[in-house]
Structure 1
Amino acid sequence: MVFNVTLKQSGRQFQVEPDEPILNAALRQGIGLPYGCKNGACGSCKGTVCSGEVEQRAHAASALSNDEKTRGMALFCCATAQTDLEIDVREVAGVGDMQVRKLPTRIAAIERKADDVIVLKLQLPANERLQYLAGQYLEFILKDGTRRSYSMATAPHAEGPLELHIRHMPGGKFTDHVFTQMKERDILRFEAPLGTFFLREDSDKPIVLLASGTGFAPLKAIVEHAVHQNLDRPMTLYWGARQKKDLYLLDLAEQWAKDIPNFRFVPVLSEPSADDNWTGRTGFVHRAVIEDLPDLSGYQVYACGAPVMVESAQRDFSQHHGLPEDEFFADSFTSAADLANPV
């Protein structure tokens, strides 16, 4: 027995098997729904169940509140259909055009950029070319079947290895291995491209790029893609970190500000050290955006990094500073720890 799911905004329909997550069914049938983590931690796939019944499975409390459940909302990455459904969720054009593939890869380089950040470069098999959208991510498939997600920091047009920016999570099974045991020429497997975080090129609105930590990675791909495409929309990159050393590619971002027309770079430190001799902006990075742009009604925002930053920016920008909800695009860097206490 299968259930029919109708998308309220477009009228498109797809079928979902019993016990199959609604998001998985949509993607399997070429229908692009928004998503990030696919495990109930980030909230990107949230939408409204207009009619019918779903079973909402375990998820992070921050991704779907009890109040939102009461209002009929669900996380479609971990909700299954109990009846035919009508759902209201934003469709994403373009994702279905990219073939998701599983590929082997060889470690081409391991470059330490900060105490806790490594730039990992991946060499694909000869004659293989991965097609993806700037901002999307890949998932490493580990030997025990578990997965780890990392944004691709390389623009899709670029030749050479794929670049990832990996922050060490002490006690993290994969990042402990990367920082202590991984060697050049090691072989890994991954699946890509994934995610609905990518540059929307059909708009002429000025762009705010908002990063914390290694959330800089997909924004690097977006900036380099925009330059390659000769997009002339104004772009401002706000990159937040604790201390100056955590802005691990500061020279690159500063060079962009010199070389790219209509591009601004605003670094923001939350806890600068005395050694930093910091004279720039301080505090929360999303607050720096608000200080500069109190009216965001004419902008698009692309936010990537720690969940608390992404959630705060989405709430404050939309509720208090005029940003249309459908002009906020995000990739929240969730980890296994974010699902440690699911509800």
Structure 2
Amino acid sequence: MAYNVTLVPSGREFQVEDGEAVLSAALRQGVGLPYGCKNGGCGSCKAKLVEGSVEHGAHSSSALSKDDETRGFALLCCAHAKGDLVIESREVKGIGDIPVKRLPCRVNALERRADDVIIMRLQLPANERFQYLAGQYIEFILKDGKRRSYSMATAPHEEGSLELHLRHMPGGVFTDHVFHQMKEREILRFEGPLGTFFLREDTDKPIVLLASGTGFAPIKAIVEHAAHKELERPMTLYWGARQLKDIYLRELAEQWAREIPGFTFVPVLSEAAPEDQWQGRTGFVHRAVVEDLPDLSNYEVYACGAPVMVESARRDFIAHHHLPEAAFFADAFTTEADNPGGGQ
């Protein structure tokens, strides 16, 4: 049995099979809906249920709370229709034009940039053209079928290897292997591109880029893509970390500030070490944004990193600093431990 799903305000319709997640059905039929992790962990696909009802599979309460459900919201990645639905959600243009592929790749290089950060470079098959949008991610498919998601730090126009930034999660099956056993030339499989976190180019609004930790990876792709396209929109990058060593590509961001017209870099440390001799900004990185920009009504914000940072920024920017909800784009870096029932 299939049910009809209608999106408002666009009026777009698609079919969802009994037992199929609404998001999966939409993506299968080329309908672009906002999403991130696809497993109930991040909340990027939360949407208002105007008519009809759904049953939810396992999900994080931070992605969809009981109060959210009471107010009529659904988490589309794990929502199963019980009948026809009308859903209020914006459509994401552009992602349906790029094919999602499953490809082998070879580990070209492993560069340790911090105690817990490795930059991995992947070599794709020589005859393969891999298209994606700046900010999207891929999913590694592990031998047991489990998946691990990582954003591409390489801008789409770049030739050569694909760059990823991996943070070590102690006890994590995949990152333990990467940090302790993986050797160059190892073969991996991945699927992509995925996600709706990418630079929108249909406006000239100034851009706030907000990163914590390795959330810098897709931000790097966005900045380098914008510079390549010679976009004239002002960009300010706020990169938050605990200590200075965690701003693991600080020299690159400082180089952008020197070389890219209209680009500003603001590093923010929450627990600066004495040896950092830090004289810069401190505290929560999203608070640094509103200290500088109390009125965000004419900005677009791209936020990537820890879920608590992304959600705090979303809530505060929209509720208290006039940012339109449609101008906040996010990719929360959930780990396997964040996933419903997940371990490492």
Q: Give the TM-score range, shorter chain.
A: over 0.9
Give the match for residue 141 of structure 1.
Answer: 141
**Alpha-carbon distance in 1 for matches of 2:340, 2:145:** 19
In the TM superposition, what whole-angstrom CA distance separates every residue of 1:82-116 from its partner, at most 9, and x where no partner exists? 10111111110001011000000000000000000
Structure 1, unmatched stretches of 5+, are none
Q: What's 1:58 paired with? A: 58
Tell me what 2:177 maps to.
Answer: 177
Displacement of 1:8 in angstroms is 1.6
* Cα distance, 1:297 vs structure 2: 0.4
Q: Summarize deviations over 1:159-189 as a string: whole Å, max 9, x none.
A: 1100000000000010000000110000000
Does the 8 Å CA contact 2:297/2:322 hold for their aligned counterparts? yes
* Equivalence for 1:292: 292
- Is the counterpart of residue 250 in structure 1 residue 250 in structure 2? yes
Rounded Cα–Cα distance in structure 2 between residues aligned with 1:165 and 1:59: 26
Q: Map of 1:261-340 to 2, 5 A cutoff?
A: 261-340=261-340
1:76 maps to which residue? 76
1:109 corresponds to which residue? 109
Measured in 1, the distance between the counterparts of 2:213 and 2:340 equals: 22
| Distance in 2, Cα, partners of 1:277 & 1:21 | 51
Verify: 1:24 aligned to 2:24, yes or no.
yes
Q: SS of the counterpart of 2:290?
A: helix
For the residues of structure 2 that align with 1:291 and 1:8, how far apart are their CA atoms? 36
- The CA distance in 1 between the partners of 2:84 and 2:155, in whole Å, is 40
Match of 2:223 in 1: 223
Structure 2: give runs of 5+ residues left out of the alignment: none
For these two proteins, the number of residue pairs brought into alignment is 342
Is residue 41–residue 340 contact of structure 2 (8 Å, CA) maintained in 1?
no
Give the letter aligned to residue 276 of structure 1.
Answer: D
Query: Aligned partner of 2:97: which letter?
Result: D
Aligned to 1:213: 213
Q: Distance in 2 between matches of 1:130 and 1:151?
A: 14
Q: CA deviation at 1:65?
A: 1.1
Which amino acid in 2 is paired with 1:91? Answer: E
What is the alpha-carbon distance in structure 2 between the residues aligned to residue 272 and residue 89 of structure 1?
A: 41
Q: Which runs of 4+ in 1 moved over 4 A?
A: none
| 2:4–2:13 contact (8 Å) kept in structure 1 | yes
> Letter of the aligned partner of 2:335 in structure 1?
S
Q: Distance in 2 between matches of 1:238 and 1:107?
A: 30
The Cα of 1:341 is off from its aligned counterpart by: 5.4
TM-score normalised by length of structure 2: 0.99
In structure 1, the residue matched to 2:162 is 162
Give percent identity, aligned residues only: 73
What letter matches 1:165 in structure 2? H
The residue that corresponds to 1:40 in the other structure is: 40
Maintained 8 Å contact 2:40/2:340: no
CA distance in 2, matches of 1:311, 1:326: 15
- Return the letter of the residue paired with 1:161: S
CA distance in 2, matches of 1:16, 1:154: 35
Q: Secondary structure at the match of 1:26?
A: helix
The one-letter amino acid of 2:151's match is: S
Cα RMSD of the aligned pairs, angstroms, is 0.8
User: How far 1:340 moved relative to its partner?
Assistant: 4.9
- What is the alpha-carbon distance in structure 2 between the residues aligned to residue 56 and residue 158 of structure 1? 40
Distance 2:277 2:129 in 1: 44
Deviation of 1:254 after TM superposition, in Å, equals 0.3
The aligned residue for residue 150 of structure 1 is: 150
